[in-house]
Amino acid sequence: MLSHGQVWAAIDALAERHSLSASGLARRAGLDSTAFNKSKRHSADGRPRWPSTESLAKIMEATGASLEELLDAMARPGAAAAARGAGVPAIPLLGFAQAGAGGFFDDAGFPVGQGWETVDFPHNPREGSYALKVQGDSMLPLYRDGDVLIVQPGAAVRRGDRVVVRTAGGEVMAKVLVRQTTAQIELLSLNPDHPNRQLSASEVEWIARIVWASQ
């Protein structure tokens, strides 16, 4: 069973992962800036005060964190700090334009080849994870130019997940998965000024889930 301390430690870890204070995370999630303050974690009589499920949902939406990541942080308080202290290895980094050029991925979307830069990742990355740097404004308002997205190829993707898709023509895009069948994939644009996409399965080279964003 999760403890009161584990839940709040997970929120602190999520804030730190995005270079935010607890107040900054609350503001980004559209909550009162004091919602996650340490003084708010216990009532006046000392009883523990728990964050609401709505608050948790909002911070997951604001940071792009999955439920799996949040639960993992709750189950392993201090794991992120321990990993940093042990020296988590850097992971490969590409810009979106480079990712579309070819030669950097195998058929399943895992990183291969030469020319990769690297970036430090403040969390223990799964094997095969890599980073893509956002370029331009096509992913506003969620992702800005210069933001770094950590991508995990091979991870199961579900409706509502934020994903990176590479087409057979070399186009690389970050979208929200609406529906995926054996015949086609439907994608929702992160930027309302850009169209949603519907691609046939033959047009998609690979699809990978976004598991973290620097922002």
CA separation for the pair 71, 79 (Å, rounded): 12
Q: What is the DSSP letter of 108?
A: T
Question: How confident is the model at residue 55, as a pLDDT?
Answer: 92
CB atoms closer than 10 angstroms to residue 204: 16
Whether the link from the prior residue into 51 is cis, omega within 30° of 0, is: no
In this predicted model, what pLDDT tens digit does every residue of 110-136 receive, in sequence order?
A: 887 767 888 777 566 777 889 999 988
Instruction: Walk me through the domains of the chain, giving residue ranges and CATH numbers.
Output: 4-84 (1.10.260.40), 89-213 (2.10.109.10)
Query: How large is the average pLDDT for residues 168-190?
Result: 93
Picking from 170, 167, 129, the residue whose alpha carbon sits closest to that of residue 151 is 129
**DSSP category for residue 111:** B
At position 17, the amino acid (one-letter code) is R
Cα 18 to chain center, whole Å?
A: 10
Flag the least confident range among 70-79, 83-92, 97-106, 175-184. Answer: 83-92
Q: What is the pLDDT of residues 38-79, one digit of tens each?
A: 878 887 777 888 999 999 999 888 888 888 777 777 766 454
Around Cβ 39, how many Cβ atoms within 10 Å?
6
Place of tokens 């990769």: 116
* More confident of the two residues 73 and 173: 173
pTM, two decimals, is: 0.58
